[in-house]
């Protein structure tokens, strides 16, 4: 997640810098920047560039400045409001699909404040279908049916998710178990339905990139993969593809780990990695000296995830293994 922190007062700036300092230790935060004053200009510049905007300001200031640029709930960034004393963290926009509710809870824990969540499904202890989509990186088609499905949940009506062996991991999630019923038609698609409304959950491509020291044991590779996915609160089964660079194509540990986990492994050529550029990637002098590229796991995952893909877990090291996770745009 790319997070912009907007402040208007000196006290707010101090709080914002403290939050940003803590977020830099979170591998799921790809970028965090702070912008002081010039609220209107900064909001306009950040709205399409960042996944989340945190405004340390009065709620009214934020509302007046976003009302003309809000577009669609599936595209708008998460927007949070924090008072300059840090007493409350308000999830203002894109609570579910944008992840504002989840981030509000995280930020509140970091600064010892109270999260303010107002979405009905959460207040009624239901795991909204847009929460399912956000957590597991699914697209919802059509988005217009979210309201109907979530209203059924709130009214304690039956909502089914068609059972499909490819998505067995969903039924290990207690929130899903306690909210949804397994469908019985065993569709090859992931269909959500009540009595009269249907929608499809379409998984975005999720790619985990790997790098490692030479001759790393495959069990260390598997452990690193699992730990990386734990950072994202996702099961290993959600990975669509493992990938690494051509320089690691004969690394036994990576090859055996992919085979053991039964996840396809894609090898990315050195030339593609050398040609690929992305401002969010981590640059390593050591890797450049050894292989002539600035990194392996991040560019490999981004290339395989496709055009306009984004990092959701930046390069993270686990005992000689590096992992990064990228997500396709669609």
Model pLDDT, residue 315: 96
Model pLDDT, residue 82: 98
Give me the mean pLDDT over the 161-187 stretch: 88
Model pLDDT, residue 282: 86
Task: Flag whether pLDDT at 224 surpasses 90.
Answer: yes
Model pLDDT, residue 303: 97
What percent of the chain stands above pLDDT 70? 100
- Give the CA count within 13 Å in the CB-facing half-sphere of 39: 18
Q: Is the pTM of this model over 0.85?
A: yes
Task: Flag whether pLDDT at 330 surpasses 90.
Answer: no
pLDDT category at 164 given cuts 50, 70, 90 is confident
Q: What is the pLDDT of residues 52-82, one digit of tens each?
A: 999 999 999 999 999 999 988 889 999 999 9
Q: What is the pLDDT of residues 93-136, one digit of tens each?
A: 999 999 999 999 999 999 999 999 999 999 999 999 999 999 99
Q: Does domain 2-118 have CATH number 3.40.50.150?
A: no
Other C-beta atoms closer than 10 Å to the C-beta of 83 total 17
Q: What are the domain boundaries of the chain?
A: 2-118, 123-203, 206-327
- Give the CA count within 13 Å in the CB-facing half-sphere of 87: 3
Lowest model confidence (mean pLDDT) among 110-119, 139-148, 286-295? 286-295
Model pLDDT, residue 253: 96
Residue 196, exposed/middle/buried by CB under 10 A (0-12, 13-18, 19+)? exposed
pLDDT category at 298 given cuts 50, 70, 90 is very high
pLDDT category at 291 given cuts 50, 70, 90 is confident
Q: Does domain 206-327 have CATH number 3.30.420.180?
A: yes
DSSP string, 204-272: PPEEEEEEE-TT--HHHHHHHHHHHHHHTT--GGG--EEEEEGGGTT-HHHHHHHHHHT--EEEEPHHH
Model pLDDT, residue 109: 96
Give me the mean pLDDT over the 305-309 stretch: 95
Q: How far apart are CA 298 and CA 210, in angstroms?
A: 8
Give me the mean pLDDT over the 263-275 stretch: 95
Q: What is the pLDDT of residues 31-58, one digit of tens each?
A: 999 999 999 999 999 999 999 999 999 9
pLDDT category at 183 given cuts 50, 70, 90 is confident
Model pLDDT, residue 27: 95
Pairing relation of β-strands 31-36 and 2-7?
parallel
Give me the mean pLDDT over the 144-161 stretch: 95
Model pLDDT, residue 286: 74
Model pLDDT, residue 284: 77
């Amino acid at each position: 997640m790319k997070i912009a922190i907007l402040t208007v007062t000196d006290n707010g700036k101090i709080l914002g810098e403290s939050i940003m300092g803590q977020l830099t230790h979170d591998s799921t935060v790809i970028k965090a920047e702070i912008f002081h004053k010039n609220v209107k200009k900064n909001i306009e510049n950040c709205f399409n560039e960042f996944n989340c905007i945190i405004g340390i300001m009065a709620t009214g200031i934020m509302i007046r400045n976003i009302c003309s640029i809000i577009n669609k709930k599936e595209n708008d960034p998460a927007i949070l409001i924090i008072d300059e004393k840090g007493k409350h963290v308000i999830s203002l926009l894109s609570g579910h699909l944008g992840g504002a509710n989840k981030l509000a809870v995280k930020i509140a824990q970091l600064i010892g404040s109270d999260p303010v969540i107002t979405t009905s499904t959460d207040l009624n202890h239901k795991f909204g279908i847009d929460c399912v989509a956000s957590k597991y990186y699914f697209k919802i088609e059509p988005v217009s049916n979210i309201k109907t499905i979530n209203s059924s949940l709130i009214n304690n009506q039956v909502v089914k998710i068609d059972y499909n062996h490819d998505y067995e991991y969903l039924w290990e999630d207690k929130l899903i178990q306690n909210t949804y019923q397994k469908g019985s038609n065993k569709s090859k698609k992931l269909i959500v339905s009540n009595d009269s409304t249907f929608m499809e959950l379409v998984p975005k491509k999720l790619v985990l990139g790997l790098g490692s020291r030479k001759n790393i044991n495959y069990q260390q590779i598997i452990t690193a993969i699992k730990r990386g996915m734990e950072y994202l609160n996702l099961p290993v089964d959600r990975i669509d593809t493992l990938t690494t660079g051509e320089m690691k194509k004969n690394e036994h540990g990576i090859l055996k780990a992919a085979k053991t986990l039964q996840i396809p492994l894609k090898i990315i050529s050195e030339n593609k990695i050398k040609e690929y550029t992305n401002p969010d990637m981590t640059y390593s002098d050591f890797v450049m000296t050894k292989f002539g590229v600035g990194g392996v796991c991040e560019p490999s995952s981004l290339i395989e995830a496709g055009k306009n893909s984004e990092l959701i877990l930046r390069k993270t090291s686990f005992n000689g293994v590096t992992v990064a996770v990228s997500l396709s745009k669609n």
